[in-house]
Chains A and B, each alone.
Chain A
Amino acid sequence: DTGVSQDPRHKITKRGQNVTFRCDPISEHNRLYWYRQTLGQGPEFLTYFQNEAQLEKSRLLSDRFSAERPKGSFSTLEIQRTEQGDSAMYLCASSLDGPRGSYNEQFFGPGTRLTVL
């Protein structure tokens, strides 16, 4: 399977704990995105990388959130001091850079469902 993979698929944690999620994009894709989806809502953009550079961050990404893509391949999203409001599905997507102004399809992973008790 050469699609986008995410690990873990499910995570239950207690309020105040730190959690880290991993995303492995499609191998030749140089762009990687993180979105958050709460129950009954559409996904909301959090951040994206081109290779190892983090190019845009949403206001939703508070100081407790940090994302990295150290070698331009896999990415991690860490949430420190989790709160109940962080409970959501965290989706990763990847795409391949194309000509300026073109759209390059984002392929989504299955997501990591976080529950904060």
Chain B
Amino acid sequence: AQSVTQLGSHVSVSEGALVLLRCNYSSSVPPYLFWYVQYPNQGLQLLLKYTTGATLVKGINGFEAEFKKSETSFHLTKPSAHMSDAAEYFCAVSGPGAQKLVFGQGTRLTINP
């Protein structure tokens, strides 16, 4: 079985500040890990993914995440927040060859001017 816990349902940062969204996972098989972003009234868009190989992965819009097996974490970061980053962010897990995604409950990111 797999599960995802996102710490903090709501995160607020100032424009230009560091963004850190936390994700911890549980998986009985080597995990594939993902971050998705959802803007209001839109579908989910893939930000980045980890499957195998390098544990620091870079995604779109300046985001990156690091897979830490020992901590079962996959936190999302961005050095400098922009107003356009305001959205809902979802961490998800899957397994090799598995097709369904298991999502966390989401973190709403607010950017203060």
Flag if B44 contacts A33 (CB, 8 Å): no
List B contacts of A95 (CB < 8 A): 99
The total number of A-B Cβ pairs within 8 Å is: 58
Q: How far is the CA of A108 from the CA of B34 in the complex (A)?
A: 14
Q: How far is the CA of A41 from the CA of B105 in the complex (A)?
A: 5
Closest to A113 in B: B41
Q: Which of A12-20, A42-50, A65-73 sits within the interface?
A: A42-50
Q: How far is the CA of A76 from the CA of B100 in the complex (A)?
A: 18
List B contacts of A45 (CB < 8 A): 100-102
Residue tally, chain B, CB below 8 Å to A:
25
Interface range for A: 20 to 34
Q: How far is the CA of A50 from the CA of B9 in the complex (A)?
A: 34
Contact of A43 among B49, B97, B103 (CB under 8 A): B103
List B contacts of A25 (CB < 8 A): none
Flag if A31 contacts B99 (CB, 8 Å): yes
Which residue, of A45, A55, A56, has the highest number of chain B Cβ atoms within 10 A?
A: A45
Closest to B4 in A: A42
Flag if B102 contacts A109 (CB, 8 Å): no
Flag if A105 contacts B49 (CB, 8 Å): yes
Flag if B104 contacts A110 (CB, 8 Å): no
Q: How far is the CA of A35 from the CA of B38 in the complex (A)?
A: 14
Flag if B97 contacts A91 (CB, 8 Å): no
Which residues of A pack against B, CB within 8 Å?
A: 4, 31, 33, 35, 40-45, 48, 55-56, 58, 91, 93, 95, 100-103, 105-106, 108-111
